[in-house]
Structure 1
Amino acid sequence: MNDHQPSDDFDELMRRALHHEADRIEPADGLHEIQARVRTTRKPVNRRPWLVTAGAAVLGTAAAVGAFAVLNGDNRQAGDSEVAGGPDTTATATGSPESARTGTPEPTRAPSPVPSDQKPTAPTPKTSQTRGKPEPESAGAVPVYWLGETVGFESGPGVRLYRTFVPFKGRATYSAVQLMVSGKADDPDYSSPWTGAQVSEVRMSGSLTTVDFKSVPKARLEPDVAEMALQQLVYTVQGASKATVPVEVTLQGRPVPQLFGVDVKQPLGRAQSLDVQAYIWITSPDNGAVLKTPFKVSGIAAVNEAQLNWRITSDTNRKVLDEGVATTEEAFKLTPYSFVVPKLPAGRYTLEVFEVSAADGRQTSTDTKTLVVK
């Protein structure tokens, strides 16, 4: 046995060195868009105006693909918050609940201005070839945002953003954008007007993320729907890259003047969460899941008085077999909710989670999943 004891001088030198290194560490600010502000007046949202306008750009995007099943939290990439506010954020609504959903027009116009300390240099003819670098390769699951119809509103864009987690292997942000433009969401209620676009590469400079396309959609959308489509790209890129920097769009290395009829000459900033994201999401179970009862339902919602409703309906005869209420952690803020569905006979069911309007009792902000009980 070696009984050698380290010298006191050596210990003192090590302590000084470690203390010196610790003093050099500076914590980074990772909280971007904490408590995002929602304007106190907002128009109700129309249910389907974008379907006619988008035309062929969105046909076929309702197909469910089992390979893109939503994963549980254990396999997810860090950086996209469970509260649905984009990377590491929580969205907060202010004002009355009715003004937040049924007042004057809603979403914040996107692209939102680039922060003054993040303005990129003017685009050059070969922007994506000269600025930034690709991500390292990895594997796991990335957040992908989709457009889903709103329910119970009579004006506005008629669509909002919903998020799913999708498995990937390779470059996270490139994979997420590829999945977004494929239009192959695991839930047939979700779709993408980017269908048919071809992604060339994604490059990052630290203050800007550049998405270069081989081809982009040709469709023109209603302006408010087009803004939602642009935010779909921004949220997908920022969620997958874990960076809230502006997103630049190029076509074969050159700036793109317009997308969906909207000016995109400047890099795109992220709109406030509650201006563009759905008020109620079901995050578990997945659409098409095969379950045994009882089972737990969980999700994200921003609702009046922190209360929402749920209903289980038989797909065979549309009979309501069970229903109830649940609560979120906070009112008017995108926070988690959960509840347990009790025992059901074997069969195929539709799960609905929704809000009942305090103004007139309408069912609003519905998200649905089709489930099979063994």
Structure 2
Amino acid sequence: MNDHERNDPFDDLMRRALHDEADRIEPADALPEIRDRAHAQRRSGGRRPWLLTTGVAAVGTAAAIGAFTVFTGAGHTANPGNDGDAVAGSGTTATATAVPQSRPPSVAQPSPAPSVASTDASTGATKASGAPEQAVSNAVVPVYWMGQQVGARKKTATRLYRTWAKVSGRPAEEAVRIMTTKQPEDPDYFTVWRGAAVNTVTRSDGVVTVDFKQLPKARLDADVAQVATQQLVYTVQGALKDDQTPIQVTQGGRSVPKLFGQVDATTPLGRAQAADVQAFVWIESPAEAQVLGEDKVTVAGVANTFEATVNYQATNLKTRETKKSFTSTQEGMKFSPYAFQLTLSPGPWQISVYLVSPADGTITDTDTKSILVK
């Protein structure tokens, strides 16, 4: 927007009128519709058989927007590293343990970016703001998705699952663009941010501001809304490699009263404890739908599990051949890497990792990937 447009009294009046009108809209609870669409879209093939009645898949399909490509994760292993995704953030306890990070490939050095102007949330006046992100070329950033939590008492319980994407441009801005517009490759993952349109990501005075042109209008269950909000926080902080600076959400430069009709967004949002929002087990390699040219497959990921035990099962979807066993994480009772190797015959395979309750033996958490061995 140029200076003339910003200072036009008529435009300012119209913006205020539209904004006031939008504030009076009370969107309905969209979670049932999301769940219905998920059931309709879940593809066949036996994914998460214990979730057939409650699983939630990705909602709708969306075109890829912006300069990014999905990072397949080939050869990507769960080595500890720092991509900004430690557990403890603003408002978390000092005893929280860090989530081990897969180390993304090295990327080009960012180029300097000039400072920009923004709108004062209380007066609507234009004021100086923080600088936007520095642009990079072919950076690998984490993008978080939501997924149904198996074994939870509440059927709508959800958790965050991390994937990786390769972007060119401003890392956090592109990561949010993927999170809000792109379909996750894994059909067990989804996002309720569909329909949002990110504007800028800027930093100043100890706050990262994510400004949206448009925010989702769905009203969600309170617990789901909290996880969905943390999906944004984790994605932005991960892309910035900074898990401490809180995230302020604005729309058109103005503060937002609530996200998804539940979460107070008038003040910056801190990072929740990983144990409260992240999945307790997930697969990082191989990637969903990856085609492998050899029979030896290394499966790697992260889990937080009792006595460091991760169970797994691999099933050939054509012959029904099954391999089942367990492995260990490097440490128990905290988020820690695990890895195991399978020798698989040619064909389509489904690999599942899951946790078992020490109390009653029920499956409590899971992640699944479908691959093709040639």
Give the TM-score of the pair, scaled to structure 2. 0.71
Contact map agreement 1:62 1:185 (CA 8 A) in 2: no
Contact map agreement 2:259 2:265 (CA 8 A) in 1: yes
1:80 to 77, 83, 86: 83
Residue 280 of structure 1 corresponds to which residue in structure 2?
281
How far did residue 188 of structure 1 move?
A: 1.7
Contact map agreement 1:150 1:160 (CA 8 A) in 2: yes
How far did residue 156 of structure 1 move?
A: 6.7
Contact map agreement 2:82 2:241 (CA 8 A) in 1: yes
Contact map agreement 1:356 1:363 (CA 8 A) in 2: yes
Q: Distance in 1 between matches of 2:365 and 2:30?
A: 17
Identity over aligned pairs, percent: 42
Larger of the two Rg values belongs to structure: 1
2:303 to 288, 301, 304: 301
Contact map agreement 1:153 1:364 (CA 8 A) in 2: yes
Query: Cα distance 1:340–1:86, how it changes in 2: closer, same or farther (>3 A)?
Result: farther
1:3-14, aligned counterparts within 5 Å? none
Equivalent residue letter for 2:233: V
In structure 2, the gaps of 5 or more residues are 1-28, 39-57, 99-119
Equivalent residue letter for 2:32: V
1:165 and 2:159 aligned = no
How far did residue 79 of structure 1 move?
A: 4.0
Residue 269 of structure 1 corresponds to which residue in structure 2?
270
Q: Distance in 2 between matches of 1:90 and 1:293?
A: 42
Equivalent residue letter for 2:259: L
Query: Cα distance 1:127–1:236, how it changes in 2: closer, same or farther (>3 A)?
Result: farther
Contact map agreement 1:79 1:239 (CA 8 A) in 2: no
Q: Distance in 1 between matches of 2:269 and 2:327?
A: 36
1:135 to 133, 136, 140: 133
Q: Give the secondary-structure state (helix, strand or coil) at the position aligned to 1:146.
A: strand
Q: Distance in 1 between matches of 2:221 and 2:368?
A: 26
How far did residue 90 of structure 1 move?
A: 9.9
Query: Cα distance 1:156–1:207, how it changes in 2: closer, same or farther (>3 A)?
Result: farther
Contact map agreement 2:121 2:253 (CA 8 A) in 1: no
Contact map agreement 1:282 1:297 (CA 8 A) in 2: yes
How far did residue 221 of structure 1 move?
A: 0.2
Contact map agreement 1:63 1:185 (CA 8 A) in 2: no
Equivalent residue letter for 1:310: Y
Query: Cα distance 1:125–1:230, how it changes in 2: closer, same or farther (>3 A)?
Result: farther
Equivalent residue letter for 2:303: A
Query: Cα distance 1:169–1:368, how it changes in 2: closer, same or farther (>3 A)?
Result: same
Query: Cα distance 1:260–1:141, how it changes in 2: closer, same or farther (>3 A)?
Result: same
How far did residue 358 of structure 1 move?
A: 1.1
Q: Give the secondary-structure state (helix, strand or coil) at the position aligned to 1:325.
A: strand
Structure with the bigger percentage of strand = 2
Deviations 1:21-53 (A, max 9, x none): xxxxxxxxxxxxxxxxxxxxxxxxxxxx98526
Q: Distance in 2 between matches of 1:221 and 1:209?
A: 25
Residue 366 of structure 2 corresponds to which residue in structure 1?
366
In structure 1, the gaps of 5 or more residues are 1-48, 94-121
Q: Distance in 2 between matches of 1:323 and 1:351?
A: 10
Q: How many residues align?
A: 292
Instruction: Identify the range of structure 1 (278-287 vs 205-214) with the bigger mean alpha-carbon deviation.
Output: 205-214
How far did residue 316 of structure 1 move?
A: 2.6
Deviations 1:244-292 (A, max 9, x none): 2110011111111111012211111110111100000101111111122
How far did residue 308 of structure 1 move?
A: 1.1
- Give every structure 1 segment of 4 or more consecutive aligned residues whose post-TM-superposition deviation is greater than 4 Å: 53-58, 61-67, 126-129
Query: Cα distance 1:247–1:255, how it changes in 2: closer, same or farther (>3 A)?
Result: same
2:317 to 312, 315, 318: 315
Contact map agreement 2:316 2:350 (CA 8 A) in 1: yes
Give the TM-score of the pair, scaled to structure 1. 0.71
Q: Distance in 1 between matches of 2:76 and 2:134?
A: 22
Deviations 1:168-218 (A, max 9, x none): 000011111111101422222111100110111111115000011111000
Query: Cα distance 1:182–1:320, how it changes in 2: closer, same or farther (>3 A)?
Result: same
Residue 28 of structure 1 corresponds to which residue in structure 2?
none
Q: Give the secondary-structure state (helix, strand or coil) at the position aligned to 1:152.
A: coil
Contact map agreement 1:62 1:184 (CA 8 A) in 2: yes
Contact map agreement 2:130 2:204 (CA 8 A) in 1: yes
Q: Distance in 1 between matches of 2:155 and 2:142?
A: 26
Residue 342 of structure 2 corresponds to which residue in structure 1?
341
Q: Give the secondary-structure state (helix, strand or coil) at the position aligned to 1:248.
A: strand
